[in-house]
């Protein structure tokens, strides 16, 4: 299977996928990495792995619609079977979802539907939950609302701060991402309403 990964930051989830896909038995390879900004460590990781990259900054386009169309075209060039947002901090638009809505995964650093948005661990800590985690889901038009593929629970410890909790979540999140993407590419999936079935 051909995977395109979209990123906005450090790319540690991307790295976990790059590492896993070096094993041919995994059944997939990362054929391109796209970003919404330049100068991020995740792009260096892609280059180091010999994977082609592209950058589509929102502000380089006249409108969000133009950006959506350009991003969709750039991703489509790589003929992906699966697209993974691994810390991609932009909501994609209707063009993108029309083209890829049944194969666009995102990983989020809380147990959805609790604490959507970009400050998940901070919000979970502030609320005082004792268990949080990470959610892998297919993206729909909402923010962090799509059909859930898998979740992993992570404890919140009494002396956690945002950084320690974020790191604990991220290590579980990376393992889940690698395991579940492998399962999806080997077995396929169907999305019925909000449910994802993996045979
Ligand atoms: C992940 O924890 C993801 O859930 C959040 O951003 C993080 C991305 O980290 N949205 P990285 O760039 O993969 O290191």
In a domain, 10, yes or no: yes
Total of domains in the chain? 1
- Which residue in the list 45, 103, 108, 170 is annotated as catalytic? 108
Q: Which atom of ligand 1 is nearest to the CA of 9?
A: 12
**Ligand 1 nearest-atom number relative to CA 89:** 10
27 with 45: CB under 8 angstroms?
Answer: no
Asked whether 72 and 96 are in contact (CB, 8 A), the reply is yes
* Distance, CA of 145 to CA of 115 (rounded, Å): 11
Tell me, yes or no, whether 45 lies in a domain: yes
pTM: 0.97
106 belongs to a structural domain? no
What interface predicted TM-score (ipTM) does this complex get?
A: 0.95
Residue 115 counted as domain residue: no
Q: Which structural domain, as residue segments, surrounds residue 88?
A: 1-100
Whether residue 113 is preceded by a cis peptide bond, meaning omega within 30 degrees of 0, is yes
**What digits encode the pLDDT tens for the residues 5-64?**
999 999 999 999 999 999 999 999 999 999 999 999 999 999 999 999 999 999 999 999
Q: How far is the CA of 107 from the centre of ligand 1 (A)?
A: 8
Residue matched to tokens 């992570």: 154
CATH number at residue 95: 3.40.50.170
Cα 86 to middle of ligand 1, angstroms: 6
Note whether residue 42 is domain-resident.
yes
């Amino acid at each position: 299977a051909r995977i395109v990964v979209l990123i906005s930051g450090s790319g540690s989830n991307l790295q976990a996928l790059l590492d896993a896909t070096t094993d041919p038995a995994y059944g997939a390879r990362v054929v391109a990495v796209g970003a919404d900004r330049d100068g991020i460590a995740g792009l260096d990781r892609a280059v180091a792995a010999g994977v082609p990259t592209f950058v589509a900054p929102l502000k380089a386009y006249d409108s969000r619609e133009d950006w959506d169309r350009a991003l969709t075209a750039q991703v489509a060039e790589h003929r992906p079977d699966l697209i993974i947002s691994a810390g991609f901090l932009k909501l994609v638009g209707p063009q993108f979802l029309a083209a890829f809505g049944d194969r666009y995964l995102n990983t989020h650093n809380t147990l959805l539907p609790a604490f959507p948005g970009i400050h998940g661990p901070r919000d979970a800590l502030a609320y005082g939950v004792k268990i949080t985690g990470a959610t892998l889901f297919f993206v729909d038009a909402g923010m962090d609302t799509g059909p859930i593929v898998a979740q992993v629970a992570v404890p919140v410890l009494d002396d956690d701060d945002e950084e320690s909790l974020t790191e604990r979540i991220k290590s579980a999140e990376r393992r889940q991402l690698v395991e579940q993407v492998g399962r999806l590419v080997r077995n396929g999936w169907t999305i019925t309403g909000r449910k994802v079935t993996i045979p």
